[in-house]
Structure 1
């Protein structure tokens, strides 16, 4: 959860601010977290995940000229940004969480994303949002907010930052490296060094979110397809209910026209979606840092039937998912 707000004026020395539940009587821990941290730094309505479990949390927060960033750790909570919270937010921001441990679920704009270690999730401050950190485990993340005005000239920024998940296997290495360094350096680096790192993160966000791909670049054999179609499919790839009819309706075209566009690229809507889903599962299977069950990966990327997935995977790559994972050791 992001407990920062760029509408506040940063301290003159840009000093790090630390809050820890262990500094507070146990019976008052969550109340202090809510009143001192969230109410002071960012309008949210948080609640503990399990009122029967003693809340534990820690926030190391730094205000910078270009936004704010914090290293946040809790044992689980939920938080809503309501219309009332939004009306009390002085600056429109892009929020983000880079997950180091645990799990964060984000619900915004009729979409739910689940971010796990190594994943980045981005969302707007000026639309209602519901966040859930996994209860009963240690949830650690780099949370940040950046004024939306910074991305005013970035193509597709409004849509690409609206509850977008960038999974670990698609997060560009320079951005992942910057986040990791932020986590390690929060208390040991100077404000100037932290500001430079944070600015680098902000500059790389549009690239990782897919805002800045050149028009001519396309996606290999899919380059002839309009970018708005590719973007919509990309944003909804994990939804098993993604259909040509739904895509056509959201894009404001007829289903027949949509089928014609894919036919001109030598494929079908269903063929393209299946191909992209299989590629994303393959990337996760090849990652040594992610060991989720194969069935979980298949369902995560929109397959609703495991046997159909296994057949399609072997047909596409020549080996079964289990064999491919085994080849990585």
Structure 2
């Protein structure tokens, strides 16, 4: 890889019948970050032109910077899988042509803020926002997302009311309407050869994406705001499931990863009649149980206890027996014997 690369395939411009493949890669060493006055100049006229004031924060800059995006671009619709190291900046230039943007986060976290609003999406969540107004943003190191940008003119007529765009929309990717959007984007990837050859297919894809995004936003407006405590609990559970193998996973770590105060997180869980540590312990117990079922006598109880962060074998055995009615060894033997 060269020191800095930026590539948009020559046939990716949104012309009738043209190709749609989009690719962008960038690598900057720590020295280049320090010596470069404007490393993101290439983004000014491309599909990422709504991003301005970009900076690589310290101390992340000491480790260099990587960015990559691969996907499809046509008629202003960009759908790409993106990897981005730590980055800050502004999204949106208060222009009518700035797009509506959706990020389905698979790892890391992206945070946006404007006026009195602060929105953060982590692994297993989607964040949709209008970049007509400007947002300050911060991307954590090694964040991966499926990013979608689509012209506002394709979304606004379908919403009926601009109030749906007044604030960011955040939801779990497990929500049926969000999962439907994710499945559609996967279908776009699988249908690339048709998109490359057909302007009609590209128009259908853009119309479908605009309809799905506007439908998600409209349903949020019709249903009203989600109960904040429930939303925070779901976000925390997503974080716990993603980071369950961390030895230092604790309520404080979960609160930091979700982006809310620890006291707020405890209060949200108490409203659901479950403690944070109970959920962490239960999730680890489920993972330990699954490994026991897969490996059986090939693994010891002590190994399982250590791998899933139980303090010792006796601690693990006590919790396993409470959940499954018998000890791990007896459970494996009964499954092996078919009893």
TM-score, normalised relative to structure 1: 0.60
Find the counterpart in structure 2 of residue 205 from structure 1.
213
Between Structure 1 and Structure 2, the one with more helix by share is 2
Q: Map 1:1-329 to 2 at 5 A.
A: 10-12=14-16, 13-21=18-26, 27=32, 34-41=40-47, 42-45=49-52, 46-49=54-57, 50-60=60-70, 62-65=72-75, 67-81=77-91, 85-86=93-94, 89=95, 91-135=97-141, 137-160=142-165, 162-170=167-175, 172=177, 173-182=179-188, 184-185=189-190, 190-191=195-196, 192=198, 196-209=204-217, 211-212=218-219, 230-231=224-225, 234=226, 237-238=227-228, 277-278=229-230, 281=233, 285=237, 290=242, 295=251, 296=254, 304=263, 308-309=267-268, 311-314=270-273, 321=279, 325=283, 329=287
Distance of 1:286 and 1:53 partners within structure 2: 28
Q: Give the 3 Å change call, closer, same or farther, for CA 124–282 of structure 1 in structure 2.
A: closer
Conservation of the 8 A alpha-carbon contact between 1:96 and 1:144:
yes
Q: Give the 3 Å change call, closer, same or farther, for CA 178–162 of structure 1 in structure 2.
A: same
Q: How many residues align?
A: 258
Conservation of the 8 A alpha-carbon contact between 1:303 and 1:309:
no
> What is the root-mean-square deviation in Å for CA atoms of aligned residues?
4.4
Query: Gapped runs of 5+ residues in structure 2?
Result: 1-7, 288-339
Q: Give the 3 Å change call, closer, same or farther, for CA 288–149 of structure 1 in structure 2.
A: same
Distance of 1:139 and 1:56 partners within structure 2: 12
Distance of 1:284 and 1:181 partners within structure 2: 30
TM-score, normalised relative to structure 2: 0.58
Q: Give the 3 Å change call, closer, same or farther, for CA 326–16 of structure 1 in structure 2.
A: closer
Shift of 1:282: 6.1
